[in-house]
Amino acid sequence: METSPIDAVDPEIAGLVRSEAARQRGVLRLIASENYASAAVLAATGSCLTNKYSEGYPGKRYYGGQVFVDQIERIACARACSLFGADHANVQPYSGSPANLAAYLALLQPGDTMLSMSLPHGGHLTHGWKVTASGTYYRAVQYGVRKDDQRIDFDQVAALAHEHKPKLIVCGASAYPRVIDFARFAEIAQEVGALLLADMAHIAGLVAGGAHPSPVPYADVVSTTTHKTLRGPRGGMLLCKAEHAKAIDRAVFPGLQGGPHDHTTAAIAVALAEAATPGFRDYAAAVVANAAALAEGLLSHGFDLVSGGTDNHLILIDLTNKGVSGKVAAKALEAADIVCNANSVPFDPRKPFDPSGVRLGTAAVTSRGLGTDAMRQIADWIATIVAAPGAANLHAHLGEAVRALTAQHPAPGL
């Protein structure tokens, strides 16, 4: 048995970490926000940098001993600016939610109005949803998708922008399978004198790899996580135009956070170096090609896909016509080692905890080298399982086929 330094101290946790690694190796991971970080990214995340404190920014820290940390953070920021063509980068946000909150802190006063995509239509919790800090401290007016084609309703966005004169328009989504027209959002923001924040957390890797248009030329500030399609460590990042650099930096520290997680900063730097390689462009193109193939396979089995398909890494299935809820389907799929999440669909009559849909993503399976033929096979398996959500023996049998497939495609980093 492979052992780790954890075994000597805490065999219980060591065993659980080992089991999780085995799970990640064995299952088909179709959660749209997950991926496999490389061994290099994992090594940086687990490095001695976890021992360091470094409140402040390179050259302006509150603690000593920063000679190497300063270099690491400067390199991470420079790589982010170069990869995405941004004026300024802040790599300190702990993840996507603090990154968004820092952007609001930099650009808004409490009580100001923001115009953002509603959670049930594909937006993120931190885009002003009422139970979050963003919905508590700011006045969030929300847009959504059209009922007929489930694409962003730009007529509604423009009408709400003109009516409410928001100080900030937020675009970007967590469950939207189509290309986001950042230029159109910028046009509307300009018409009403609003600033534009683009949250590219889900698509950052596609943007880096040239498989989705970039929001950077259009948005005042761009927020992102670093671990979804971008395939880095769990972290966050803010990119902005030069005029917002000071406000963004002040908002992250000391506005919202204390010491940055230097081990994460180093791992972000490594991931950004990986994302600048030709191989990463191939990966980004393959993620999109795989999502298209999976969508095509699902459509051939009569699945109803939100917006009719996908342009990116993500597919949202409305299971209403199959007579199965999202939660029941996700549970049945997991019994066959196909892991995804139940998800609301636009205009969902069901409650968020047991919604009408499931969300699938192709980043992680692409990182382990699966191609379009495998996607068609996965679509067939999904159809078989959803048609018989209570058939435990069938699920166990298909699970064996799933594990035979994953065994042929080693998981990176593990």
* Interface residues toward ligand DSN, by CB under 6 A: 33, 96, 124, 174
Do the beta carbons of residue 337 and residue 27 sit within 8 Å? yes
Separation in Å, CA 25 to CA 20, 85, 364, 404? 9, 35, 11, 11
Q: How far is the CB of 174 from ligand DSN (least distance, A)?
A: 4
Helices 326-335 and 372-387, interaxial angle, to 10°?
120
Q: How far is Cα 189 from Cα 167, in angstroms, rounded to an integer?
A: 9
**Catalytic residue (one of 53, 146, 304, 384):** 53
Nearest to 180 by CA among 320, 310, 338, 29: 310
**Catalytic residue (one of 55, 70, 112, 334):** 55
**Catalytic residue (one of 113, 225, 226, 362):** 225
Q: Which is nearer to ligand DSN, 174 or 406 (CB)?
A: 174
Q: How far is the CB of 137 from ligand DSN (least distance, A)?
A: 19
Q: Which is nearer to ligand DSN, 124 or 261 (CB)?
A: 124
Do the beta carbons of residue 141 and residue 130 sit within 8 Å? no
Q: How far is the CB of 228 from ligand DSN (least distance, A)?
A: 7
> Is 55 tagged catalytic?
yes
Neighbour count for residue 221 (Cβ, 10 Å): 32
**Catalytic residue (one of 25, 61, 74, 234):** 234
Q: Which is nearer to ligand DSN, 56 or 326 (CB)?
A: 326
Q: Which is nearer to ligand DSN, 33 or 265 (CB)?
A: 33
Q: How far is the CB of 97 from ligand DSN (least distance, A)?
A: 7
Integer distance in angstroms from the first to the last C-alpha of the chain? Answer: 14
Nearest to 264 by CA among 256, 272, 274: 272
> Is 147 tagged catalytic?
no
Q: How far is Cα 365 from Cα 35, in angstroms, rounded to an integer?
A: 8
User: Any residues with CB less than 8 A from the CB of 155 and at least 6 apart, and which?
Assistant: none
Q: Which is nearer to ligand DSN, 95 or 377 (CB)?
A: 95
> Is 234 tagged catalytic?
yes
Q: How far is the CB of 122 from ligand DSN (least distance, A)?
A: 10
Tokens of 374: 């495998």
**Catalytic residue (one of 52, 79, 167, 228):** 228
The residue whose Cβ lies closest to ligand DSN is 33
> Is 53 tagged catalytic?
yes
Q: How far is the CB of 119 from ligand DSN (least distance, A)?
A: 11
Q: How far is Cα 307 from Cα 304, in angstroms, rounded to an integer?
A: 9
> Is 130 tagged catalytic?
no
Q: Which is nearer to ligand DSN, 7 or 348 (CB)?
A: 348
Could you list the active site residues? 53, 55, 199, 225, 228, 234
